[in-house]
Amino acid sequence: MPYDAPRPPSAGPGAAFFDVDNTLMRGASIYHFARGLASRDLFTTRDLLRFAWGQTVFRVTGAEQPDHINAAREAALAFVAGHDVGDLVALCEEIYDDSMADRIWEGTRRLVQRHLDAGQPVWLVTATPVELAQIIRRRLGLTGALGTEAESVDGVYTGRLNGDLMHGPAKAVAVRALARREGWDLAACSAYSDSSNDLPLLSLVGHPHAVNPDGDLRRYARTHQWPVHDFRRHRKALKVAVPAAVAGAVAGGVAVRAVRHRRRA
């Protein structure tokens, strides 16, 4: 369905919540981050392969089975454990500027701006690490960000999570708590996502929107007469966007290793 610009939201006791991957940004932000780390020699090829596989299973299947969730959790934690929080945040800033800033969907950026112009808070709600989500928030001038939180002690990541992955039902729980704290009326709030995994969040607010939706979300949105915004030009290419991102991440890691090997030789 082509993009049909909605009327600007009226200012009121509500907020807008945006998913990041494939909603605000083309592709998966965590893959771009992983590739950036690989190019800076912070991954071995084995780490990258393990991470890519765990995230692929999690994102492509969209499954809620505990073994898939755990695989994604372990892969995400493996590459931050033992690293200094400040160092990784600084790298996040570099990687965003180098390879993520130009991946923001202009159409979604316009949707965000409508809410900001109407005086409404705009929050990111994403499974990506909260440190990366906060950088995106600052770069785009948004209000706040909820993301997956990795535990740290004395400024070093432990390899454990604070709470659960910010995914599926966890997003709805977090947004409900945030709305209660801020005094927002959820019926006056809006939410935007590309994934049927986010139906708990989308169903929580009074104004749900499907952005670049997967097949299940598109069907659900049409059935329930939700607005659908599709900013993609090449549907066939986007059907394999996640596997392609994995291939790119793995290829990046292999290339780094190959360069190292040639230098040693």
Residues designated catalytic: 19, 21
- Sign of torsion, CA 79 81 82 86? positive
Place of tokens 């299973």: 57
Residue 142 pairs with which residues in a beta bridge?
Answer: none
Helices (H), 63-203: 66-78, 85-95, 106-117, 130-140, 169-182, 199-202
Six token digits for residue 226: 């939700």
Burial 21-58 (b: 16+ CB within 10 A, else e): bbbbbbbbbbbbbbbbbbbeebbebebbbbbbebbbbb
User: Taking the chain, what is the end-to-end CA distance rounded to the nearest angstrom?
Assistant: 54
Paired sense of beta strands 156-161 and 190-193, if any? unpaired
CA distance 235 to 231: 10
Is residue 224 a contact partner of residue 206, using CB atoms and an 8 Å limit?
Answer: no
C-alpha angle 10-16-17 in degrees, rounded to nearest 5:
165
Is residue 210 a contact partner of residue 217, using CB atoms and an 8 Å limit?
Answer: yes
